[in-house]
């Protein structure tokens, strides 16, 4: 598939489907499938908005390969101990910001609701995704995913992908 050959509407739909799969895998706790949405040399960065706005390099999470994403999932499953909770992502305002051949850049807003074992739901994180997406063997995958969070205080360990 050549992304440049898709109409604007078809491209928007394909990117929307990739993002929907991304949040569904996280929300349904199928985290072992999460790295498959990325190319081998992918970049996944979770950055506070204040750092992104100032061009500062410090990130809360900084991974530069699919292997590092796999390691995060293995660590989460085997080493982290945390209270039972569920995440639910809400996405809005998807916009294709650039397209060039087999590469597309997209941005959308996100909010993650967290429900704890006591039944209380709160906003865990809010911000935006800034993505570089490529077609790899006919499948859209993230080459770069920058999660820029507005929420200055995260009230529990940031162990699950945003």
Q: What is the pLDDT along the chain (162 residues), one digit of tens a residue?
A: 677 788 999 999 999 999 999 999 999 999 999 999 999 999 999 999 999 999 988 898 999 999 999 999 998 888 766 677 889 999 999 999 999 888 999 999 999 999 988 889 999 999 999 999 999 988 999 999 999 999 777 666 677 899
Distance CA 134, CA 122 (A): 34
pLDDT digits (tens, 9 = 90+) for 81-95: 667 788 999 999 999
CA 149 to chain centre: 11
Rg (CA), the chain: 16
This prediction has a pTM of 0.93
C-alpha of 125 from chain center: 12
d(CA 48, CA 148): 6
Q: What is the pLDDT of residue 81?
A: 66
Two tokens at 19?
Answer: 């993002």
Inter-residue contact 148 to 47 (CB < 8 Å): yes
Q: Output the pLDDT for position 108.
A: 98
Looking at CATH, the fold of the domain delimited by 3-149 is given as Nuclear Transport Factor 2; Chain: A, (3.10.450)
HSE-up of residue 120 (Cα within 13 Å, Cβ side): 5
């Amino acid at each position: 598939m050549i992304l440049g050959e898709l109409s604007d509407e078809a491209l928007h739909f394909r990117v929307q489907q990739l993002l929907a799969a991304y949040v569904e895998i996280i929300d349904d706790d199928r985290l072992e499938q999460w790295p498959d949405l990325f190319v081998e040399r992918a970049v996944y960065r979770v950055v506070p908005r204040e750092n992104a706005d100032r061009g500062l390099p410090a990130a809360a999470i900084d991974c530069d390969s699919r292997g590092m994403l796999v390691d995060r999932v293995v660590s989460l499953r085997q080493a982290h101990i945390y209270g039972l909770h569920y995440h639910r992502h809400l996405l809005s305002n998807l916009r294709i910001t650039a397209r060039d051949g087999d590469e597309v850049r997209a941005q959308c807003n996100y909010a993650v609701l967290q429900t704890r074992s006591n039944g209380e739901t709160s906003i865990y994180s809010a911000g935006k995704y800034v993505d570089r997406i490529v077609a790899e063997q006919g499948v859209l995958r993230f080459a770069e995913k920058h999660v820029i969070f507005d929420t200055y205080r995260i009230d529990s360990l940031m162990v699950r992908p945003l």
